[in-house]
């Protein structure tokens, strides 16, 4: 009995061997490392949000068109990264269509319209730029709070960008309702479609290809029709300020 007690005391007195605190922290840290693809997707989404704020604060129409083209290029890059990380091959086609349409064709059409209509500045706005940016920040906070429970239900690698996508949509809508000229309002509408595409990529790896191609065609045809509409407004009112249309009355 005495020998058993001595052996038990000896076992209790021996230090327990386990991982050091630093090793435990390293193991936890390794389990929570974010993949590089997810980091790049979040980076692209952050750049898209910053470009949305830049467009909201921009008064020069030519620079606004260039910012829209840059946003389309970053959106295409984000879709390509998601396609590479997940193996969703149809997203490569979506990225190519987005790059061609949003970064090349539509900016080229808008540049030609702005030059032919002699539009370079858009000084007039319903509210000043600082107030607009403050309202935009509040909309971003609302968008993140609304998107948080939705993103928790998603299992995509880009689910963290859903709040940014919703914020981009709301900022584009804010630009539409605070500008008085036609071209910035159209750019706001196109930027809103960029946010919707980012939201679809974030939640479900994009929409079906037929739907995406149909939307791209509708956007292109709509831009051409709006270009003709710009010339009609300019010929009728000698200005692209849509507030002149409020004076129209039914005959």
pLDDT in tens, 54-100: 998 888 888 899 999 999 999 999 888 888 888 878 888 888 888 98
% residues pLDDT > 70 (the chain): 64
Confidence of residue 240 (pLDDT cuts 50, 70, 90): low
More confident residue, 115 or 170: 170
Q: Which residues pair with 241 in a beta bridge?
A: 181
- State residue 25's pLDDT score: 40
Residue with tokens 């002149």: 244
Is residue 100 domain-resident?
yes
Q: Which residues pair with 125 in a beta bridge?
A: 179
244 vs 65, 100, 225, 248, 249, CA distance in Å? 24, 34, 20, 8, 11
d(CA 39, CA 120): 37
Q: Give the count of domains, the chain.
A: 1
Is residue 179 domain-resident?
yes
When mean pLDDT is compared over 5-14, 100-109, 195-204, 233-242, the highest value belongs to 100-109
d(CA 108, CA 153): 39
d(CA 143, CA 199): 12
% residues pLDDT > 90 (the chain): 16
d(CA 128, CA 64): 17
Is residue 63 domain-resident?
yes
Let me know how long the chain is. Answer: 251
Contact of 125 with 132, CB cutoff 8 Å: yes
- State residue 26's pLDDT score: 44
Confidence of residue 122 (pLDDT cuts 50, 70, 90): low
- State residue 97's pLDDT score: 86
Contact of 145 with 104, CB cutoff 8 Å: no
Q: Is residue 7 predicted with pLDDT exceeding 70? A: no
d(CA 215, CA 228): 20
Confidence of residue 28 (pLDDT cuts 50, 70, 90): very low
- Rounded to 10 degrees, what is the CA torsion of 66, 69, 71, 74? -120
Q: Is residue 31 predicted with pLDDT exceeding 90? A: no
Q: Is residue 29 predicted with pLDDT exceeding 50? A: no
Closest by CA position to 77, among listed 47, 107, 50: 47
Which domain covers residue 164, as residue numbers? 41-247
Is residue 61 domain-resident?
yes
More confident residue, 145 or 215: 145
Is residue 11 domain-resident?
no
Contact of 184 with 64, CB cutoff 8 Å: yes
d(CA 251, CA 243): 19
pTM exceeds cut of 0.75: no
């Amino acid at each position: 009995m005495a020998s058993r007690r001595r052996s038990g005391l000896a076992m209790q007195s021996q230090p327990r061997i386990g991982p050091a605190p630093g090793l435990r922290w390293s193991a936890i840290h390794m389990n929570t490392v974010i993949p590089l693809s997810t980091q790049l997707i979040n980076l692209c989404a952050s750049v898209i949000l910053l470009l949305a704020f830049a467009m909201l604060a921009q008064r020069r129409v030519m620079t606004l068109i260039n910012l829209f083209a840059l946003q389309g290029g970053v959106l295409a890059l984000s879709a390509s990264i998601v396609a590479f990380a997940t193996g969703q091959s149809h997203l490569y086609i979506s990225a190519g269509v987005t790059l061609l349409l949003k970064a090349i064709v539509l900016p080229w059409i808008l540049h030609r319209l702005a030059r032919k209509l002699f539009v370079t500045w858009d000084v007039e706005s319903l509210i000043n730029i600082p107030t607009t940016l403050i309202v935009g920040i509040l909309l971003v906070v609302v968008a993140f709070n609304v998107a948080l429970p939705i993103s928790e239900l998603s299992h995509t690698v880009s689910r963290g960008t859903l709040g940014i996508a919703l914020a981009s949509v709301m900022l584009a809508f804010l630009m539409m309702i605070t500008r008085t000229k036609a071209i910035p309002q159209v750019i706001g509408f196109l930027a809103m479609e960029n946010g919707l595409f980012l939201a679809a990529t974030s939640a479900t790896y994009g929409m079906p290809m037929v739907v995406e191609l149909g939307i791209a065609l509708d956007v292109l045809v709509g831009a051409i029709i709006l270009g003709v509409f710009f010339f009609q407004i300019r010929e009728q009112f000698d200005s692209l300020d849509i507030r002149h249309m409020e004076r129209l009355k039914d005959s």
